[in-house]
Amino acid sequence: MDRLTGESGKADIKGRLADGLIGWATEPQFSLIGAGIGMGVDASHVGNADTYNFTYNLSEADTIRTVMELGTPVGLFYMLSRIALLTGMLILAVRVTRSGSSPHVIPLAVCLFAQAYQGDLTRAATMTASQVMVGYAFILSAHYYPDNATSLEFPAGDSFTRSV
């Protein structure tokens, strides 16, 4: 209860929200070479008395950790590329739906945007990254092989994805 209503709890929630949205651009210190891949995880500081405090925020924020580990130029390029891909897939999902094909791709694209923007894709996220890529494969398949019953481009029997 205190976490949601107390003064420090409100500040903590605001800080977490800001770190989640734009922390990758504001939180890491400027560095041309970065701390090195793997330096943002707990195992890289075993034996150090300050291990938990060093990696506490990084363990919850893949985006901040990525920029800190890769360095500012490479990390920001990676994050901007990631956001561009996610935005492009949202736009593609809208185009697929407007073309009369699967309406299911818009909610999927929105969920994948949130997961891939905030979720852990680079550290130990074999499940998260693979689920996101399977979802994007579904959106791309709906784009390249539309299920549009009103289309007369091909007869219904020429494609397994078409219905009549």
Residue 48 binned pLDDT confidence (cut-offs 50, 70, 90): low
Dihedral of the alpha carbons of 43, 15, 23, 130, in degrees to the nearest 10: 60
End-to-end CA distance of the chain: 55
This prediction's pTM: 0.69
Calculate mean pLDDT across residues 43-71.
69
Does residue 26 have a pLDDT over 70? yes
Comparing 156 with 8, the larger pLDDT belongs to 8
DSSP H helices, 27-157, are: 51-55, 62-70, 72-98, 105-118, 126-144
Q: Which two tokens stand for residue 68?
A: 């800190």
Which pLDDT value is given to residue 158? 52
Does residue 41 have a pLDDT over 90? no
Q: What angle do CA 87, 115, 113 make, to 5 degrees?
A: 15
59-97 pLDDT, tens digit per residue, is: 567 788 888 888 899 989 999 999 999 999 999 999 998
Does residue 153 have a pLDDT over 70? no
The residue among 153, 162, 141 whose CA lies nearest residue 93 is 141
Largest CA distance in the chain: 69
Residue 35 binned pLDDT confidence (cut-offs 50, 70, 90): confident
Which pLDDT value is given to residue 111? 92
Give the separation between CA 54 and CA 56, rounded to whole angstroms: 6
Residue 29 binned pLDDT confidence (cut-offs 50, 70, 90): confident
